[in-house]
Amino acid sequence: MRRFALIAAPYLWLLALFLVPFAIVLKISLSDYAISIPPYTPQFDWATGIGAFLEKLDFENFIWLTEDDLYWKAYLSSLKIALISTFMTLLVGYPMAYAMARAPAEWRATLMMLVILPFWTSFLIRVYAWMGILSNEGFLNQFLLWTGMISEPLTILNTNTAVYIGIVYTYLPFMILPIYAALERLDDSLIEAAEDLGCSRLTAFWLITIPLSKTGIIAGCFLVFIPVIGEFVIPSLLGGSDTLMIGKVLWEEFFSNRDWPVASAVAVVLLLLLIIPIVLFQRNQQKQEEADT
């Protein structure tokens, strides 16, 4: 009985804060736009009953998503940005995680702290700080002009480059931590054994270190990829007019157009798209657990 209560608590939590809101969003996505408060119809009415209410729901908004190329272009563009930035985060994060795992044991806790430290400042403030660094009169341009490497300020802010920089910066800890966890468990004698059997340092890294940190790499990539697809703050603050991401489209649909039904449809499709990588991620975790036992 107590065990049941223990399991029930998180499920009730999920039911109240995820499933119920999702059901509401799903319902709105099947409704029609209306100039009213709230701005959609039908509303549930006790007088007419559930049958009449359900009859008025349709898939119009989902069909609309396929007709206007803005939406699938935004989905594709989000996918592209998420893939590229995940890859870049991996390129930056792996060497950092490797260096942390190879550092003397008494340093590791401090290095770990440094990775987590940015979370102590609000995410918004950190993104605004990047605006200060990347703008035409920002620190980066001033520094480059001062060193004489450039004569004209570079336009970085409000481009996709700024979005990539922002994403890599923000999501780096999510990449580093799982890779670090995998690398730290790695037995040094495996590398020595590989060298003893004729590997150079580089081939030993490629044949032993990389495969044995694979689960960490996969976990890190999913932890970055999944939230980046729906990312809204970074593209809207650092990106330009040509930065097309589904999170931004969703926001504009909801707040600028006040078209709640279409916005809800966009959200539902996004969720369905994200379920695929989430399922893959869970299978990776499961495999890892099996390998550990």
Partner 1 sequence: MTSPVFEPWNDPEAKPLIEFQNVTKRFGSFTAIDDLTIGIYEKEFFALLGPSGCGKTTLMRMLAGFETPTEGAIFLAGQDMAPVPPNKRATNMMFQSYALFPHLSIWDNIAFGLKRESMPKPDIEARVDEMLRLTRMEKFARRKPHQISGGQRQRVALARSLAKHPKLLLLDEPLGALDKKLRQDTQFELMDIQEKTGTTFVIVTHDQEEAMTVASRVAVMDNGKIIQVSTPDRIYENPNSVYVADFIGEVNIIDGTVTPNGPDSYSVAWKDGQPPLNVISPTAFSDGQSCHLAIRPEKVTINAEKPADVDNVVQGKILDIAYLGNISTYHVELPSGVVIKAQSANTRRISRRAFTWEDTVWLSWTATAGVLLAN
Q: How far apart are CA 272 and CA 147, in angstroms?
A: 49
Closer to partner 1 by CB, 183 or 194: give it. 194
Q: 52 vs 12, 162, 196, CA distance in Å? A: 30, 50, 77
Closer to partner 1 by CB, 122 or 189: give it. 189
CB atoms within 10 A of CB 285: 13
Closest distance to partner 1 from the beta carbon of 196 (Å): 5
Closer to partner 1 by CB, 16 or 193: give it. 193
DSSP 40: E
Closer to partner 1 by CB, 144 or 199: give it. 199
Closest distance to partner 1 from the beta carbon of 230 (Å): 34
Q: Which amino acid is at 169?
A: Y
Closer to partner 1 by CB, 214 or 283: give it. 214
Closer to partner 1 by CB, 32 or 192: give it. 192
Q: Which amino acid is at 148?
A: G
Closest distance to partner 1 from the beta carbon of 193 (Å): 4
Single out the residue of 239, 85, 249 nearest to residue 174, CA to CA.
85
Closest distance to partner 1 from the beta carbon of 293 (Å): 9
Angle between helices 20-29 and 260-292 (to 10 degrees): 140
Residues that bind partner 1 (CB under 8 A): 187, 189-190, 192-200, 203, 207-208, 211-212, 214, 291
Closest distance to partner 1 from the beta carbon of 200 (Å): 6
Closest distance to partner 1 from the beta carbon of 284 (Å): 15
CB atoms within 10 A of CB 121: 10
Q: Residue 237 corresponds to which tokens in the numbers above?
A: 């603050």
DSSP string, 115-155: HHGGGGS-HHHHHHHHHHHHSTTSHHHHHHHHHTS-SS---
Query: How far from chain centre, in Å, is Cα 35?
Result: 34
